[in-house]
Amino acid sequence: MTAKRQNSAKHATPQLPSIKVDESWRSRLREPAEPDPKKRVEAVRRAATRIKTTARIDTITLGRD
Amino acid sequence: MVTFDAPSWDPPAAVVLDTNVVAEALLPNEPEHRECLAVLERLADSGTAVLFSRLLEIELWEVIFNLALRERHPRKNLRHVRYDNRVRPRAARLLKQAHNAWEEYLRSPFAWTRIEMHGVAEFVPTLMQEYGFQSYDAVHAATLLTSGLTDFVTRDGGFAILPPALATLHTTQARLAGTRARRRRAGH
């Protein structure tokens, strides 16, 4: 969030935006690729070893600077 | 507001994921890598359904491309070197690795779905107007609000502008105080 947005937030009046809820995603949920929770956890751990870099970046700003 | 790296954290039935948590989990050098990897492991181990915007994937590619730029230009403003074409072969390799990582990650949730941006785009201007979000943050907020869910896993305290009734933010312990302060400043 930019400093400008933080500053404007001080003066914002919170309101519920008129947003239409669409829960159709529930019928589109993908079935688990792996029913065993332990193997699902292993998949996360493997995923975290795929990207090889020594650089660091601010992932909140997506590295925009 | 809750902390997902607290021992007492209980994964909800369904959550919306933010880009910065996924990127942090997939990049081992990042400062909150351990916490973010642990939360994805907890989500995988539980019966939690994971929702995310298509924008998450696009932003992940942006992070990766910027990493390639950062490798070559450690101290420069990336905006000034964005079009350095010497970076692109390395960026291509990193993007391939990131695609593989993301595909591997998608094998982990008990259930997941991708929310396309065209389904939420009409609400983006409303959220920008109501809360001052930047457009891409408004896409994630619209994804959360249109889904009917309230649980949002994010490291970005900027989403504290959303009222607690609309968004329960799941963040790291290190970010809790700052995120709470933002929520107070927002009048919530």
Kindly give the confidence (pLDDT) of every residue in chain B, 188 residues in length, as a single tens digit, with 9 standing for 90 and above. Answer: 999 999 999 999 999 999 999 999 999 999 999 999 999 999 999 999 999 999 999 999 999 999 999 999 999 999 999 999 999 999 999 999 999 999 999 999 999 999 999 999 999 999 999 999 999 999 999 999 999 999 999 999 999 999 999 999 999 999 999 999 999 999 99
Query: What token pair was written down for B166?
Result: 């609309």
Instruction: Kindly report the backbone phi and psi dihedral angles of residue B3, in degrees, each rounded to the nearest multiple of 5, phi listed first.
Output: -110, 125
Per-residue pLDDT, A33: 78
Q: Residue A32: pLDDT band by 50, 70, 90 thresholds?
A: confident
Q: Which residue intervals of B16-76 are DSSP H helices?
A: 19-26, 33-45, 54-72
Alpha-carbon distance of B139 to B121, in angstroms, equals 7
Q: Cβ neighbours of residue B10 under 8 Å, at least 6 residues apart? A: none
Query: Once rounded to an integer, what is the mean pLDDT over residues A47-59?
Result: 96
CB contact under 8 A, B130 and A33: no
Query: What token pair was written down for B168?
Result: 């329960």
CB contact under 8 A, B26 and A64: no
Q: Residue A24: pLDDT band by 50, 70, 90 thresholds?
A: very high
pTM: 0.92
Using the Cα atoms of residue B106, residue B112, residue B117 and residue B121 in order, give the sign of their dihedral.
negative
Per-residue pLDDT, A64: 80
Q: Cβ neighbours of residue A56 under 8 Å, at least 6 residues apart? A: B27, B29, B30, B31, B70
| Element holding A4 (H helix, E strand) | helix A3-9
Of A37, A48, A53, the CB nearest to B37: A48
Q: Cβ neighbours of residue B157 under 8 Å, at least 6 residues apart? A: A1, B171, B175, B178, B179, B182
A6–chain B nearest CA distance, Å? 8
How far the first Cα of chain B sits from its last, in Å, is: 12
Q: Is the pLDDT of residue A4 over 60?
A: no
A43–chain B nearest CA distance, Å? 6
Q: Residue A17: pLDDT band by 50, 70, 90 thresholds?
A: low
Question: Across chain B, where does the E strand assignment appear?
Answer: 2-3, 14-17, 49-53, 111-115, 151-153, 168-171
Per-residue pLDDT, A65: 72
Q: Please indicate whether residue B34 or residue A11 has the higher confidence score (pLDDT).
A: B34
CB contact under 8 A, A63 and B78: yes
Q: Please indicate whether residue B119 or residue A32 has the higher confidence score (pLDDT).
A: B119
Query: What token pair was written down for A2?
Result: 């930019």
Nearest to B39 by CA among B65, B63, B7, B74: B7
Within 8 A of B110 by CB-CB distance, chain A residues are 32, 37, 40
Per-residue pLDDT, A38: 96
